[in-house]
Amino acid sequence: MNLIEKPKDAMTSRERVRRTFAFERTDRVTIGYDTNPGVHQRLAQVLGIPDGNMELVMQAIGVDYRGIAAPYIGPQLFRAPENRRVNPLEGCVMRWVEHEGGGYWDFCDFPLANADDEQFDAFPVPNPDDFDYDAALGQAKSFDGKYGLYVGGAGVPDIINSNGRIMGMEDVLCHLATSYEPAMRFMRRRVEFQLKNMERTLEKCKGYIDFVWLGEDLGTQIAPMISLDLYRGIFKPVHKLFSDLAQAYGVPAMMHTCGSSSWAYEDLIDIGMRGVDTLQPEAANMSPRYLADHFGGRLCFRGCISTAGPLAYGSAGEVELNCRETLAIMMEHRGYHFAPTHQIQDNTPVENIIAMYNAAYKYGRY
């Protein structure tokens, strides 16, 4: 018996994704999947996929989109210290932290914490020439038009988090608040690389890409993380560069926004952003009802199925009810992508994940 009960679809995933971003009627909501490795392995085993193959798990669930990225083929930029990992493109350092549900790689040893001018200017940023864009095109072609394809992700440009992983959160917020020029210069170098890398990927894969995925965490659970003036002075111009790039290639852009972020949504609409992602319902002014009433029909929504609510702590029946109620609200204006708010956490019962995706098929049809 199939654990995920999927009725026969009336359209392809790619058509569904494109229509969702256009606020057009679809056969059902699009479906997304974000998860920690530990719980992913347990889910895969229950689904009969013992090796944890991500593609097979996404097919079993019915995920409607796939990411396309050009592999890095340039020189080694960073070396990992002993007992650490290092991100090969960012240079952020991680250590393994165990917990009762498994473990995760946490950021540490911030290489640009308390950095001087010379350290900011010398810290490596990848060269967009050092990527295999032909391989990205090969990835796109391999899906044979079945799925919606995107470039980017929640870490692009992600000015606060991505730089915070390198210099520490306190430093990055202080540098942004004071416009400390060496740090700002470093951040601009990273944005310029990301923008050029995305543009070359879009150009190489022209006609295959269906949307651009961006990210910027803008809120805590209770309030904005930065002021509106700071957002408009530093962040909005950067976000507009990426939104303009997406529009130049005729595809919509969606912004990942953790925490209480709806205070910035009018500005995102102003620069042409089509959708917003994550949508933590517990955060201030982020409930499904609030978002639908204030932005429905003007922004597509992805997420709102909390990874810190019934999915982690409730029963399968409570998960189904939560998903049903969320779908009823978020589908009112169309444009809803069903997905968890973040990576599904390791303390989540697998039966709750099954209940979540079955609810999408049961209640997410138009």
Mean pLDDT by 10 residues, the chain (366 residues): 87 98 98 96 95 97 98 98 96 94 92 97 98 98 97 96 97 97 98 98 98 96 97 98 98 97 98 97 98 98 97 98 98 97 95 98 97
Burial of 229 per CB tally in 10 Å (0-12, 13-18, 19+): exposed
Dihedral pair phi/psi, residue 152, rounded to 5°: 95, -150
How far apart CA 115 and CA 146 sit, in angstroms, is 47
Cβ(273)–Cβ(243) below 8 Å: yes
pLDDT of res. 102? 82
Give the Å distances, CA to CA, from 189 to 33, 120, 358: 31, 10, 44
Q: What contacts 24+ positions apart, CB below 8 Å, involve 117-121?
A: 117/182, 120/182, 120/183, 120/185, 120/186, 121/182, 121/185, 121/186
How far apart CA 214 and CA 156 sit, in angstroms, is 5
CA dihedral sign of residues 91, 81, 183, 229: positive
CA geometry: angle at 68 spanning 152 and 197, to 5°? 50
pLDDT of res. 101? 77
Element (H, E) at 31: strand 30-31
The region, left, alpha or beta by phi > 0 then psi within -120 to 50, assigned to residue 121 is: alpha
The region, left, alpha or beta by phi > 0 then psi within -120 to 50, assigned to residue 109 is: left
pLDDT of res. 100? 83
3-state class (DSSP) for residue 312: helix
Cβ(328)–Cβ(287) below 8 Å: no
pTM of the model: 0.97
Residue 218: partners with Cβ closer than 8 Å, 6 or more residues away: 160, 224, 225, 226, 231, 235, 257, 258, 259, 260, 261, 263, 264
